[in-house]
Amino acid sequence: MVSGEALSLKILDIGCGRFKLPGSVGLDIAPLEGVDVVHDLNQFPYPFPNNSFDRIRVIHVVEHIQSILKTMEEIHRIAKPGGEVEIVTPHYTDSSSWQDPTHFWHLSSRSFDFFQEEYRTSYYSTARFQVEYSEIKLLKLYKWFGFEFLINLQNQNLRYRFLRKFWEQYLCYMIRGKVMTFRLKAIK
């Protein structure tokens, strides 16, 4: 059963294609069935007023955008204060990150730290987000050996961040990442 609060949330599904989240507003460049707003994501501003959405989904889209900075600033503009942004993208060590010729970007587990106030060069963007959660999926073999659990321990306690940093700096080309999921909160 879905609560009344969940039904009242305004959700934007950016780059939804044919797989729009039910109950959301679908935004895509392709005029497919289910797409509510047809718009080129590389053209700014997006056709929504400020502070429009409680939740914004960006599933396997951000790597296709020409400017992540401008896109994140636009997402920040249309998100309500405290709005949740979910981003899913390939890790830069996954072959899918490099096989698709429409990918502009190859991202790491720390790519969205850039938009946190305390990040050393956050002054390049006005958009502020708090990274609430980040998860990296690995190939099944490495998941079975427990590596996926270890590199995601930081979600349970930040003192384990060193495990992910060590993996990404020294081991990620041997124990490759697959897909990353980020949950960000819009800070306004």
**CATH code (residue 22):** 3.40.50.150
* Total count of domains within the chain: 1
Strand order in the sheet with 11-14: 37-38, 25-28, 11-14, 53-59, 79-90, 177-186, 129-138
* Cα–Cα dist 120/126, whole Å: 14
Please state the three-class secondary structure of 132-148 as a single string: EEEEEEECHHHHHCCHH
The pLDDT of residue 3 is: 47
As given in the structure block, the two tokens for residue 16 are 């939804």
* Cα–Cα dist 96/94, whole Å: 5
Provide the residue-wise pLDDT of the chain in tens; the chain has 188 residues: 444 555 588 999 999 999 999 999 999 999 999 999 999 999 999 999 999 999 999 999 999 999 999 999 999 999 999 999 999 999 999 999 999 999 999 999 999 999 999 888 888 899 999 999 999 999 988 999 999 999 999 999 989 999 999 999 999 999 999 999 999 999 99
Which residue range is the domain that position 103 belongs to? 4-186
The pLDDT of residue 123 is: 84
The pLDDT of residue 5 is: 53
The pLDDT of residue 4 is: 52
* Cα–Cα dist 167/188, whole Å: 33
The pLDDT of residue 8 is: 80
CA torsion angle 89 42 121 48 (round to 10): -90
The two beta strands, 25-28 and 37-38, are: parallel
* Cα–Cα dist 111/31, whole Å: 30
The pLDDT of residue 103 is: 96
Q: Which of 81, 77, 144, 69 is nearest to 111 (CA)?
A: 69
